[in-house]
Chains A and B, each alone.
Chain A
């Protein structure tokens, strides 16, 4: 899986990012940290999106590119004494390889952690070939 994140404001016509409506507030985003691990039949992407509700997570696959987007709405409750974080949006893209079955991708959000399951296509799973000895 190749990192594909590009700034929404770049003018390169090749990225999916440019196809989305680049609005001003979306140009401010964080690339969330991810863990990606592989098993025999799937790739799993785990990413931290604190402050994003289930409804504001946007995961999509388009032209073989996985896009993770999250909108965080956070405002301090009262007059700020100390500010260590600001929450705006999250945005990150990955190029998927052909071995992912793009129709079977599923995602789950819990406690600010998004888990995306990318099952491998049937044909790429290892197949045990029976050798007949005769």
Chain B
């Protein structure tokens, strides 16, 4: 699977990644290590953590977000931009801080956006939330799908 086309595509991708490491790209794609902060707590990290994969027809974005208030969960797409926002439920108000033995889980509102490498069809995006993992399936637009070229032998 080494073709000239793949080579340039890979170079472009590497360049994009380097741009992001150096902070030149959109903050949505910042390299994980560059988001290390001196401040304690999880709030300074990108949240939720995401795994992104793709095949010929779709992008798949999986986000690790346990305990969301499902009515606040919001997934929106426009062109190649995906925004996921929502709120992780805090402990009930009846729990006063003096009752806490440990408080390691974070809570609150979040929003994270990312730019995909190709536009997607907004109407056909599917999202599901189960066991604290949000899975979004984003079909690429027809023009962005790889095309098989028939080679005429002669």
**Partner-B contacts on A (CB < 8 A):** 1, 33-39, 43, 46-54, 74, 76-85, 87, 110-113
Contacts and interface: CB of A to CB of B under 8 A. Distances in A.
| Cβ-closest 4 pairs across A and B | A112-B132, A50-B132, A112-B66, A33-B104
Q: What size tier do the contact residues of chain B reach?
A: 35 or more
Nearest to A114: B66
Contacts of B53: 76-81
A49 B66 contact: yes
Contacts, number: 111
Interface stretch (B2-10, B76-84, B95-103, B145-153): B95-103
A133 B95 CA distance: 36
5 contacts: A1-B101, A74-B133, A77-B60, A77-B62, A79-B54
A71 to B, nearest CB: 12
A33 B132 CA distance: 14
Nearest to B95: A37
A56 B99 CA distance: 30
Nearest to A56: B131
A51 B101 contact: no
Contacts of A35: 91, 100, 102-105
B105 A47 contact: yes
A36 B102 contact: yes
A79 B53 CA distance: 5
Given A33-B104, A35-B104, A113 B133 contact: no
